[in-house]
Chains A and B, each alone.
Chain A
Amino acid sequence: MTHLEIEAAIYKAVRKVKPSLTEEPLSPATRFDTYNISSLELAMITFEIEDHFDLDIADANLDTFVDIGEARDLVARLMEQAHGVQVVPA
């Protein structure tokens, strides 16, 4: 698994919860506070990511993270811990 794959899943989750961002360019540097994403929306994005990767990240909620890159790194760590999946940068 690569960072790009995780980022793509996070973008998909963000856009599912906030369809108005479908046309917005997202990147690892995109901050979660850029688009007025509420705490409940962030919880829903977390939920979508958990669902996608079959992870339980509730204890490390995404709202402690500033941007998508940090969220990606958390998912990468959890994928290795929970599923033994090696995540490579690209």
Chain B
Amino acid sequence: MKGSRTRVVITGMGAVSPHGIGVDLLWERLAAGQGAIQPTERTAGKHRVTKPAAVLRDYRAELYLNPDKLVFMDPFAQFALIAANEAIASAKLSIEALDPTRIGVVLGTSSGGDTAREIEADRFFHQGKRRCNPALVSRTNHQSAVGAISMEHGITGPCFVVNSGCAAGTHAIAQAVLLLRSGLIDQVITGGAEACAIFSTMKAFEAMNALASDTCRPFSRDRSGLVLGEGAGVLVMETLASAQNRGAPILAELAGIGMSADAADPVQPTAHGPAMAMRMAVEDGGYALTDVDYINAHGTGTQANDRVETQAIKDLFGDHARNIAVSATKSHLGHAFGASGGLELISCVKTLQEGLIPATLNYLGPDPECELDLVHTHARQTPVNLALSNSFAIGGLNAVLAVSPFRQQLG
């Protein structure tokens, strides 16, 4: 925001992605165009399903977390804590030297501990077991990821979880920004975490005809749907004053946030809601629409999302739409629901830092209803001055973040 409002900057990042642990590994693969989607089998009792998905293949939680704590943690909470630990370390955030009551944790998740719930359901309904695992409540509550980070680091300020499906991570980050601007806190750990590539979720999205038959091809002709992903994208954000006082590395500025609802349909998206959220994010940051030069699209690879998101971009930006580079990280990492907002913002920050937009993978050719300046097949080297990160949830709940390189003086 150009003016007197509290500025919010990003000072640390941590990632758990289908590629493995760490932001460096994630960015290396994104920049190189190495996607993580593979055929993935999930079973429950005698049932099985195999679909393309982007999941961690060689994950060993005990390498990163206290093994005695793992029994209480669903994978989504483990991912969150591992990513938060990296983010806090990279931000050089010495919590013991700060006021822990002025630090918050705000994460987004959609499925929460559904992995643990599905395992227990299998025990009851397929194996005929009688007693429930006493750790089930600890594993399945959505706020467990936030609690784990709070406990690990002694953070005692506002800590809560945001649950708005595919937009949960981006909504959570927006709430974190508002907390910082309000003056209630000085630093916040925020982003999203998800472990949703499980049997029941795969079957649910298959039933909607929303799952891709082969792979995720956002904005491409012959795209057939989304693929499930998993992981966590967590960032440390703080007021500019806090970052400068403690000499923190400033990676980028979280310039603006936008949130809206379509108020239209339980499933089908509309263009006006996403357009409104994008406009709000740009204007909230004090920018003009013509300042936007890159959009990290929601880009799920479904027919409806990509067509409607294209329409929203065209409706909002008009002629300037052709000047905006667009790409979709989900072609690499799948759709990790609440985690996607965090992982995609991390990708945006790296894009600002490196001047490189990762390619949208699996592109087969243009769709006349998705005419955008799509960065596909090959990454594009270009400076980016204002990027938007879009997240749109089923039910028409939209959240958008505007992020820019940090400049001491705003123009």
Contacts and interface: CB of A to CB of B under 8 A. Distances in A.
Interface of A: 16-20, 40-41, 43-44, 46-47, 50-51, 56, 58
Contacts of A18: 68
Closest 4 CB pairs of A and B: A19-B67, A43-B134, A44-B134, A20-B68
- What's the interface size class on B, roughly? 10 to 19
Contact of B131 (A16, A19, A41, A47): A47
A39 B336 CA distance: 35
B368 to A, nearest CB: 56
A24 to B, nearest CB: 12
B131 A17 contact: no
Interface in B71-100: 71-72
10 contacts: A16-B71, A17-B71, A19-B68, A20-B66, A40-B72, A44-B71, A46-B134, A50-B131, A51-B131, A58-B131
Contact of A40 (B66, B129, B130, B135): B135
Contacts of A50: 131
Given A19-B62, A40-B134, A51 B129 contact: yes
B133 A47 contact: yes
Contacts of B131: 47, 50-51, 56, 58
A48 B12 CA distance: 40
A46 B71 CA distance: 14
A41 B68 CA distance: 10
Nearest to A57: B131
Nearest to A21: B68
A15 B269 CA distance: 50
B130 A56 contact: yes
Contacts of A43: 134
Contacts of A47: 131, 133-134
Given A47-B131, A56-B130, A56-B131, 16 more contacts: A19-B62, A19-B67, A19-B70, A20-B66, A20-B67, A20-B68, A40-B72, A40-B134, A40-B135, A41-B71, A44-B71, A44-B133, A47-B133, A47-B134, A51-B129, A58-B131
A59 to B, nearest CB: 12
B131 to A, nearest CB: 6
